Structure 1
Amino acid sequence: MKKSKIETRMITLMGLLIAMMVILSRFIAIETQFLKVSVTFIPESLMGILFGPFWTGIGSAIADVIGMLLFSKAPYFPGFTLNAFITGAIYGFFYYKKELTWKRIFMATFLVTVIVHFFLTPLWLGLMYGVDITNIIWWIPRIVKNTIFFPIQVVATYYLGNKIPYKKMLGKIMPSLK
């Protein structure tokens, strides 16, 4: 059985994608206490395409912890690190060594939206801040944000995965990713 081996160049690339996730999450995001709009799905999806579910989950969790340590905006809560791991693992599961079809991207985005954005995040916010998550007023901004952002994320991921020749460029730099 062949073991998965991570090379120095792969670690470097993952480090760059983690740094990009931290920057996009902490500086180029619209964030309130209860809602966040960010494009971290771009480097996270690319990480999923290149590294698979386990390493993408680990990389996403590392990005969350580094972001909290360096640029904290709220108290650290491990549930959000779990969210990051699950999100990365879902992208890696659906994208790694697979053709990026509309259906595959839709399913990955749908699962992240339902599991992370509509189930786990409200649960963590309820635990952290004592918010009554059964109140419909609390859900309206979350539903609107995800309804608008869902198709944008699906289209952007499809374009990223199928229209940008990153595989050819990376193949020259890192032949082991072919």
Structure 2
Amino acid sequence: MKKRNIDTRTITLMSLLIALMVVFTRFISFETQFLRISLTFIPESLMGILFGPFWTGIGSAVADTVGMLLFPKGPYFPGFTLNAFISGAIYGFFYYKKELTWQRVIFATLSVTLIIHMFLTPLWLGLMYGVNISNLAWWAPRIVKNIIFFPIQVVVTYYLGNKVPYKQFLNKSLTNLK
């Protein structure tokens, strides 16, 4: 088994992406008690491209925890940290060391949307606030948000994933992670 070395550049880039996730989630988002619209998927997707499922999941969980500790917007609930880890792991699974195709981006986005946004998040909110999640009035804004946001997220992820010169970075600094 080969030892994994992480260099300073890798740690710095991951830290910057984590900081971007905190800023996008806590400051540049529209949020109600039951719904959030943010651009957190951008740094999370880039992290998935660069670092793979495990490290992206860890980075996303760290971003959620740091954001909650520094800028709380409600009570802490570990389910949302689990959501962050799972969504990061999904992006890493679909994007790491793979060509970013439309099909791959659609499947990754669809997986995060269905598993996190349409299943786990409503489950956690129902547990936290005692909301009856079978009420259609509670689901309508969530469904509309995901229908509108899905194509936006796919296009932005595909464009950024194919335009950001991450391959140069991979060749220079991530060779130590092999």
TM-score interval for Structure 1 and Structure 2 normalised by the shorter chain? over 0.9
TM-fit CA distance, 1:172: 7.7
SS of 1:37 mapped into structure 2: strand
SS of 1:142 mapped into structure 2: helix
Deviates more, 1:23-32 or 1:6-15: 6-15
SS of 2:88 mapped into structure 1: helix
Q: Which sections of structure 2, spanning at least 5 residues, go unmatched?
A: none
Equivalent AA in structure 2 for residue 11 of structure 1:
I
Distance in 2 (CA, whole Å) between partners of 1:156 and 1:25 is 17
Structure 2 counterparts to residues 24-103 of structure 1, below 5 A? 24-103=24-103
Distance in 1 (CA, whole Å) between partners of 2:174 and 2:125 is 43
CA contact (8 A) 1:50 1:177 kept: no
TM-fit CA distance, 1:90: 0.1
**For residue 22 of structure 1, what is the aligned residue in structure 2?**
22
Cα RMSD for the two superposed structures? 1.6
SS of 2:10 mapped into structure 1: helix
TM-fit CA distance, 1:175: 6.0
Deviates more, 1:136-145 or 1:6-15: 6-15
Distance in 1 (CA, whole Å) between partners of 2:135 and 2:108 is 28
* Larger RCO (CA under 8 A, 6+ residues apart): 2
Equivalent AA in structure 1 for residue 58 of structure 2:
I
TM-fit CA distance, 1:47: 0.3
**For residue 160 of structure 1, what is the aligned residue in structure 2?**
160
Distance in 2 (CA, whole Å) between partners of 1:82 and 1:171 is 27
State the TM-score, normalized to the length of structure 2: 0.94
**For residue 133 of structure 2, what is the aligned residue in structure 1?**
133
Distance in 1 (CA, whole Å) between partners of 2:45 and 2:26 is 18
Deviations 1:9-39 (A, max 9, x none): 2111101100010001000000000000000
Q: Report the CA distance shift for 1:131/1:17 in structure 2 as closer, same or farther (over 3 A).
A: same
Q: Report the CA distance shift for 1:47/1:160 in structure 2 as closer, same or farther (over 3 A).
A: same
Count how many residue pairs are aligned between Structure 1 and Structure 2.
Answer: 177
Q: Which sections of structure 1, spanning at least 5 residues, go unmatched?
A: none
Distance in 1 (CA, whole Å) between partners of 2:123 and 2:22 is 23
Equivalent AA in structure 2 for residue 176 of structure 1:
T
